[in-house]
Amino acid sequence: MDIEKEAARIAEQGECAPRLARDPVNLPMIRTWLEAIGDEHPGYTEVAPPAMVQVWTMAGLHGQRTLDDPLGAMMTVLDEAGYTSVVATNSDQTYHRYLKVGEQLSVTTSLEDVTGPKRTGLGEGWFVTTRSTWWVGDEAVAEMRFRVLKFKPANVPGTAAPAASTTAPATTPAAASSTSTPTSPTAAIRPSVNRDTEYFWEGTRQGELRVQRCGGCGLLRHPPGPMCPECGATKPTYLVSDGYGVIYSYVVHHHPQVPGKQTPFVIALVELDEGVRMLGEFDGEPSVGQRVEVVFTKVDDDLTMPSWRPRADR
Ligand code: ZN
């Protein structure tokens, strides 16, 4: 497919038809947004914060792009050419005036620019820039230039989905039941180890599940940190957990693909008998309240991963 030709065709169509906001500018949405952002300015009772302009014309959780939407059309072209990934976007917004409660917005979008292919650290990609204008009636009230890099993921060992599916999941207790099955170190996502977490990973290497304990007041805490939230002491110690707990909550991860893992897999939030909660992979059919025990899986000499399985003796 000729990407530049397709881009020119879409750009030539100009602005899409105006898309109406689902609701007029309204106070409940303004309050929700201010809370989410953490903005306590008391002035937004009759006008909306300018930066939430895009909120008003969001299509909602199950929204569909319109057929003449140029961004959607260009994304489809690039998806079909193998440029399937997005890592970050950039928005430049211009506000012409405050929006008043009760005003009904609409938005139009055109494709401004498509440049590529560019070599980036992530892989080869195209920069796509669109321009949107928000309207109240025929008055332009705000504009946005939106840029996105669509790229072909570079072929990193262990990240290609078909290759990963032939590799044993790095942390499943199934691998551990044959004591220790080393998996390819390149296939697994490795934890970042620092001064605060080193004791934990040293523990798993020795078959110990260590829980950070405040050197001042004795409070147990997890995940580890440099300072006690209770008393402020900065010299933590640890205790070795018995390795038993119950599933407090869990998720079944289906998407996206994770290097070295087969989906779906279960990540459980386990409440240890000692009282703190800890995340880890769980091997089995999870249910809240289920008794579990820790399993250690040696990945290589440096890394042993803890995970969970149903407690054998209950
Ligand atoms: Zn403390």
How far away, in angstroms, is 174 Cα from ligand 1 center?
38
Bridge partners of residue 125, in order along the sequence: 118, 151
How far away, in angstroms, is 227 Cα from ligand 1 center?
8
- At 168 the three-state DSSP class reads coil
What integer best gives the mean pLDDT of the chain?
A: 87
Structure token digits, residue 127: 């920069």
CA 179 to each of CA 150, 172, 175, 302: distance values in angstroms, whole numbers, following the listed order: 43, 12, 7, 17
How far away, in angstroms, is 213 Cα from ligand 1 center?
8
ω before 162 within 30° of 0 (cis)?
Answer: no
How far away, in angstroms, is 308 Cα from ligand 1 center?
28
308 near 297, Cβ under 8 Å? no
How far away, in angstroms, is 273 Cα from ligand 1 center?
20
Q: What is the mean pLDDT of residues 231-244?
A: 96
Given this model, what pLDDT does residue 190 score? 82
How far away, in angstroms, is 212 Cα from ligand 1 center?
11
How far away, in angstroms, is 195 Cα from ligand 1 center?
18
How far away, in angstroms, is 236 Cα from ligand 1 center?
8
How far away, in angstroms, is 132 Cα from ligand 1 center?
52
Cα separation, 151 vs 126, in Å, equals 6
Q: Is the pLDDT of residue 157 over 50?
A: no
How far away, in angstroms, is 233 Cα from ligand 1 center?
5
How far away, in angstroms, is 105 Cα from ligand 1 center?
53
Cα separation, 213 vs 90, in Å, equals 42
Model confidence over 85-141: pLDDT tens digits? 887 789 999 999 999 999 999 999 999 999 999 988 778 999 999 999 999 999 999
How far away, in angstroms, is 274 Cα from ligand 1 center?
16
How far away, in angstroms, is 310 Cα from ligand 1 center?
33
How far away, in angstroms, is 205 Cα from ligand 1 center?
27
Q: Is the pLDDT of residue 179 over 60?
A: no
CA 97 to each of CA 35, 77, 101, 139, 271: distance values in angstroms, whole numbers, following the listed order: 23, 36, 13, 10, 51
Model confidence over 259-274: pLDDT tens digits? 778 889 999 999 999 9
Q: Ligand 1 (ion): which residues have CB within 5 A?
A: 214, 216-217, 219, 228, 230-231, 233
How far away, in angstroms, is 235 Cα from ligand 1 center?
9
Cα separation, 63 vs 59, in Å, equals 5
How far away, in angstroms, is 217 Cα from ligand 1 center?
4
- Residue 307: other Cβ atoms inside 10 A: 26
Model confidence over 21-64: pLDDT tens digits? 999 999 999 999 999 999 999 999 999 999 999 999 998 888 88
How far away, in angstroms, is 293 Cα from ligand 1 center?
27
